[in-house]
Amino acid sequence: MKRAAPFAVFTAVLAMTLVVTAGNGQASQSGGKSAAVAGVKIDNFSFAPATLTIAAGTTVTWTNDDDVPHTVVSDDKTTFKSSALDTGDHFSYTFNKSGKYSYFCSVHPRMTAEVVVQ
Ligand SMILES: [Cu+2]
Protein backbone atom coordinates (compact mmCIF):
# COMPACT_ATOMS: atom_id res chain seq x y z
CA MET A 1 0.00 0.00 0.00
CA LYS A 2 1.49 3.34 -0.99
CA ARG A 3 1.82 6.13 1.50
CA ALA A 4 -1.02 8.59 1.78
CA ALA A 5 -2.19 11.31 4.13
CA PRO A 6 -3.37 10.00 7.52
CA PHE A 7 -6.94 11.02 6.83
CA ALA A 8 -6.99 9.15 3.53
CA VAL A 9 -5.67 6.05 5.28
CA PHE A 10 -8.31 6.33 7.95
CA THR A 11 -11.06 6.75 5.39
CA ALA A 12 -9.83 3.73 3.45
CA VAL A 13 -9.71 1.59 6.60
CA LEU A 14 -13.19 2.71 7.58
CA ALA A 15 -14.54 1.97 4.11
CA MET A 16 -12.99 -1.49 4.16
CA THR A 17 -14.45 -2.12 7.60
CA LEU A 18 -17.91 -1.20 6.39
CA VAL A 19 -17.81 -2.95 3.05
CA VAL A 20 -15.75 -6.06 3.68
CA THR A 21 -17.72 -7.36 6.64
CA ALA A 22 -17.22 -10.87 5.29
CA GLY A 23 -13.46 -10.42 5.59
CA ASN A 24 -11.33 -11.52 8.48
CA GLY A 25 -12.59 -8.82 10.84
CA GLN A 26 -9.15 -7.60 11.80
CA ALA A 27 -10.11 -3.95 11.53
CA SER A 28 -7.84 -1.50 13.30
CA GLN A 29 -9.17 0.25 16.35
CA SER A 30 -6.64 3.06 16.05
CA GLY A 31 -8.55 4.97 13.39
CA GLY A 32 -10.84 6.81 15.78
CA LYS A 33 -13.97 6.37 17.80
CA SER A 34 -16.25 6.09 14.76
CA ALA A 35 -14.42 2.91 13.70
CA ALA A 36 -14.68 1.08 17.02
CA VAL A 37 -14.80 -2.67 16.70
CA ALA A 38 -15.27 -5.57 19.07
CA GLY A 39 -15.32 -9.30 18.67
CA VAL A 40 -17.25 -12.28 19.97
CA LYS A 41 -15.83 -15.76 19.58
CA ILE A 42 -18.09 -18.76 19.09
CA ASP A 43 -16.59 -22.00 20.35
CA ASN A 44 -17.65 -25.07 22.32
CA PHE A 45 -21.31 -24.18 21.82
CA SER A 46 -20.99 -20.82 23.54
CA PHE A 47 -20.43 -17.14 22.84
CA ALA A 48 -17.44 -15.47 24.47
CA PRO A 49 -17.74 -13.09 26.13
CA ALA A 50 -21.29 -13.95 27.17
CA THR A 51 -21.83 -10.29 27.94
CA LEU A 52 -20.08 -7.78 25.73
CA THR A 53 -20.26 -4.12 26.74
CA ILE A 54 -19.52 -1.58 24.03
CA ALA A 55 -20.04 2.06 23.14
CA ALA A 56 -22.76 3.03 20.68
CA GLY A 57 -21.46 2.94 17.12
CA THR A 58 -19.27 -0.11 17.68
CA THR A 59 -19.23 -2.85 15.07
CA VAL A 60 -19.25 -6.31 16.59
CA THR A 61 -17.89 -9.22 14.59
CA TRP A 62 -18.75 -12.76 15.59
CA THR A 63 -16.34 -15.47 14.47
CA ASN A 64 -17.23 -19.14 14.52
CA ASP A 65 -14.23 -21.06 15.81
CA ASP A 66 -16.33 -24.13 16.51
CA ASP A 67 -16.40 -27.15 14.21
CA VAL A 68 -20.17 -27.06 13.75
CA PRO A 69 -22.31 -24.31 12.18
CA HIS A 70 -23.86 -21.65 14.41
CA THR A 71 -25.95 -18.54 13.89
CA VAL A 72 -26.21 -15.17 15.62
CA VAL A 73 -29.83 -14.04 15.99
CA SER A 74 -31.24 -11.24 18.12
CA ASP A 75 -34.07 -12.26 20.43
CA ASP A 76 -36.56 -10.25 18.35
CA LYS A 77 -35.22 -12.08 15.25
CA THR A 78 -35.19 -8.83 13.29
CA THR A 79 -32.52 -6.50 14.70
CA PHE A 80 -29.78 -8.80 13.43
CA LYS A 81 -29.77 -12.31 12.05
CA SER A 82 -26.86 -14.12 10.49
CA SER A 83 -27.01 -17.00 8.10
CA ALA A 84 -25.40 -20.25 9.24
CA LEU A 85 -21.75 -19.61 9.99
CA ASP A 86 -19.41 -22.43 9.14
CA THR A 87 -16.05 -22.78 10.84
CA GLY A 88 -14.07 -19.59 10.31
CA ASP A 89 -17.04 -17.59 9.06
CA HIS A 90 -17.85 -14.10 10.36
CA PHE A 91 -20.93 -12.00 10.94
CA SER A 92 -20.87 -8.30 11.80
CA TYR A 93 -23.43 -5.84 13.08
CA THR A 94 -23.03 -2.20 14.09
CA PHE A 95 -24.86 -1.18 17.26
CA ASN A 96 -25.89 2.46 16.95
CA LYS A 97 -28.47 2.64 19.73
CA SER A 98 -27.84 2.08 23.40
CA GLY A 99 -29.62 -0.76 25.12
CA LYS A 100 -29.33 -4.42 25.93
CA TYR A 101 -29.42 -6.84 23.01
CA SER A 102 -29.92 -10.48 23.91
CA TYR A 103 -29.24 -12.98 21.17
CA PHE A 104 -29.00 -16.71 20.61
CA CYS A 105 -28.03 -19.39 18.12
CA SER A 106 -31.09 -20.57 16.22
CA VAL A 107 -29.48 -23.99 15.67
CA HIS A 108 -28.81 -24.44 19.39
CA PRO A 109 -31.27 -22.13 21.23
CA ARG A 110 -29.63 -22.79 24.57
CA MET A 111 -26.65 -20.80 23.31
CA THR A 112 -27.44 -17.31 24.54
CA ALA A 113 -25.48 -14.13 25.17
CA GLU A 114 -25.96 -10.38 25.13
CA VAL A 115 -24.46 -7.14 23.93
CA VAL A 116 -24.83 -4.12 26.19
CA VAL A 117 -24.54 -0.85 24.27
CA GLN A 118 -23.80 2.19 26.42
CU1 LIG B 1 -25.15 -23.01 17.55
Strand residues in the chain grouped as ranges (E): 37-43, 46-48, 51-54, 58-64, 73-74, 90-95, 99-104, 112-117
- 94 Cα: distance to centroid of ligand 1 (angstroms): 21
Position 15 scores a pLDDT of 43
pLDDT for position 1 = 45
Residues 54, 32: Cα–Cα separation, whole Å: 15
CA of 66 to the centre of ligand 1 (A): 9
Q: In the prediction, which pLDDT does 34 show?
A: 57
- The residues placing their C-beta within 5 Å of ligand 1, an ion, are 70, 105, 107-108, 111
Q: What is the pLDDT of residue 82?
A: 98
Q: What are the structural domain ranges in the chain?
A: 34-117
What integer pLDDT is reported at residue 35 of this predicted model? Answer: 77
Find the 118 Cα to ligand 1 centroid distance in Å.
Answer: 27
Fold that domain 34-117 belongs to in CATH: Immunoglobulin-like (2.60.40)
pTM, two decimals, is 0.72
Give the type of residue at 27. Answer: A
List average pLDDT for each run of 10 residues in the chain, which is 118 residues long. 47 42 43 77 98 98 98 98 98 98 98 98
Whether residue 34 contacts residue 11, with contact meaning beta carbons closer than 8 Å, is answered with no
